[in-house]
Structure 1
Amino acid sequence: MKLFRSTAVVLALTTGLLALPAQAEMAQQNTSGDPLYTANAPKGYAMIGDLIIARPLLIGATALGAVAFVVSLPFSALGGNVKEAAQSLVVEPGKAAFVRCLGCTTSGYNRD
């Protein structure tokens, strides 16, 4: 019975997490006329969902990616794609977890 409950909770959280970017994108409104503000103006529920659900999962994905990168490092070095492996296993989840603003759907800073 515990396995069924655990599976149901994981599926419910995953479904909710997958719906957050679509809800956040639909809910954005341009109140100031500034396109930069429009791109990075998520609603409160998107921020709460990001803080409670998405960030812990992304931090866990970054840690697991780092472990997978270290394990695969000899094979990546032999194949000559260490930079690509590091980028996809560690850097991308890390940017999504630590650089992205709370509730935003895009990573990184807007540099003009």
Structure 2
Amino acid sequence: MSPLRSLALVLALTTGLSTLPAHGSHAEVEQSNVSGDPLYSVEAPPAYAMMGDLLIARPLLIAGTIIGAAAFVISLPFTALGGNVKEAGQALVVDPGREAFVRCLGCTTSGYRQD
């Protein structure tokens, strides 16, 4: 089997598995907080969510961060005139970068959760 077909098969399987409904409730996620800190909640994502995140979501988020940085640089003169450079940088670079590099593998939330 060629490497391209193998990659296509792996991507198809992980995409199919990631679309399955997650069985669990918010209460189960809250009970997995072993640290005892009410501000930090540990998620326990299943293996298929980790694989889908690793193979599909992370590369797309990294590409989105790079494209967002380029769009931010191109739009910088206009955002500077409009006075919203900070908001544009947050939306185009920081938010996708945080989701790509800070969020745990397969988790739906990133870092600390404020209640």
Identify whether the pair has TM-score above 0.5, normalized to the shorter chain: yes
Q: Give the Cα–Cα distance (whole angstroms) in 2 for the partners of residues 104 and 82 of structure 1.
A: 30
Matched, 1:58 2:61: yes
Contiguous gaps of at least 5 residues in structure 1: 1-8
Question: How does the TM-score come out when normalised to structure 2?
Answer: 0.68
Q: Give the Cα–Cα distance (whole angstroms) in 1 for the partners of residues 112 and 29 of structure 2.
A: 21
The structure in which a higher percent of residues are helix is 1
Larger radius of gyration between Structure 1 and Structure 2: 2
Percent of aligned pairs with the same amino acid: 57
Contiguous gaps of at least 5 residues in structure 2: 1-7, 34-40
Flag as ranges the 4+ runs of structure 1 deviating above 6 A.
Answer: none
Q: Give the Cα–Cα distance (whole angstroms) in 2 for the partners of residues 68 and 21 of structure 1.
A: 31
Aligned residue among 94, 99, 103 for 2:102: 99
Question: How does the TM-score come out when normalised to structure 1?
Answer: 0.70
Shift of 1:107: 2.0
Shift of 1:108: 2.6
Q: Secondary structure at the match of 1:27?
A: coil
